[in-house]
Structure 1
């Protein structure tokens, strides 16, 4: 139903400080610069950095993951460590991921993926904080996400769709990461109204409906846009 993650929006306090981290440290290229918003290209997904001047706000303390080519991992580790970042590492099968924090407290993961690069080439995971795991899992399943893993203590589930979606009840994960609150996600789909119909009984709010775009709030207030 949902074919691609079009954007992930994060809330930042100071755009200049955030720009320095994402442009200079992570080597992303800005593609739009507006008064209260800065947009970077990350492969096929836009990373939007947004000051809290209006709604929808971007996500707070959001854990998410960038894709990097596997062969670049050691180079990224050495360069970030040399810049003084405190890094953590996790192994997922044959793939490694490193973790660091941006200036606004978002936990940024750089993980080995099958991407061309060079450098960051996509967002492959986003973590949302939810109040009721069963409710949120059912909500996203209706949008076509499929559960592939669940934590032993049933505080998290991992679902596959246009990207990996992790739903966490409040807790600390790897590198003390937290799921994001009021995260703004944009998805491409051939039928925005069909996506709305799939979850219409469970959204907390509908903000916009037209032929090309639908904007809703999920049960925990995360903003979801379905667009052609």
Structure 2
């Protein structure tokens, strides 16, 4: 049903500071946006940074993961460790490093099967939810499939256009937290079909036409289904 992650939007208090981190430190390519927003190309997904002066605001303290080529990992570690107190985790044969952006988002750079060079996609986003069972059911109806449940029963990992982690409030690796009022854009050939799959459980429907549907999920996250 959902075929790709078009964008992830985060809140940034000071855009100049955010630009310095994402363009200067992480080498992301800036894209043209309107006033009050920045955007960067991260593979096939746009990372949007938005001032908190409208709705949707963009996510707060969101943990998410960039894809980097396996062979570049050590170079990224050596470079970023000069200025950041990095943490590291191992997931089977793949390694990930963690650092924080200027607005408190936990940014992961993880080894993935991507071409690069540099950051080449977003492979995981973590949302904070109040009721794990409710959120899991909601996203299952959008085509996500549960692949892992945390031992503490406070998180679920689902696969879809990217890995979606649903967390009840807690601290994860590197003291990361799930994001609140996160704004996600999903590609789909049938936006209205995505709406029909969850129409009885959305908090609110903000926009509907044949090419774009905007809803708020049961925890207030903004979801756009667009062709």
Q: With the length of structure 2 as denominator, give the TM-score of the two structures.
A: 0.99
CA distance in 2, matches of 1:33, 1:24: 18
Alpha-carbon distance in 2 for matches of 1:38, 1:182: 18
1:192 is matched with 191
Provide the rounded CA distance (Å) in 2 between the counterparts of 1:153 and 1:42. Answer: 32
RMSD of aligned alpha carbons = 0.4
Deviations 1:106-134 (A, max 9, x none): 00000000000000000000000000000
Structure-2 separation of matches of 1:95 and 1:167: 21
How far did 1:34 drift? 2.5
Deviations 1:178-224 (A, max 9, x none): 00000000000000000000000110000000010000000000000
- Residue 30 of structure 2 corresponds to 30
Q: Which residue of 1 aligns with 2:17?
A: 17
- Say how many residue pairs are matched: 227
Distance 1:33 1:227 in 2: 18
Please state if 1:96 is matched with 2:89. Answer: no
| Unaligned residue ranges in structure 1 (runs of 5+) | none
Runs of 4+ in 1 over 3 A off after TM superposition: none
Q: CA deviation at 1:35?
A: 1.5
- Consecutive unaligned residues of structure 2, counting only runs of 5 or more, are none
Structure 2 distance, partners of 1:9, 1:159, is: 20
**Deviates most, 27-36 or 115-124:** 27-36
Q: Which residue of 1 aligns with 2:214?
A: 215
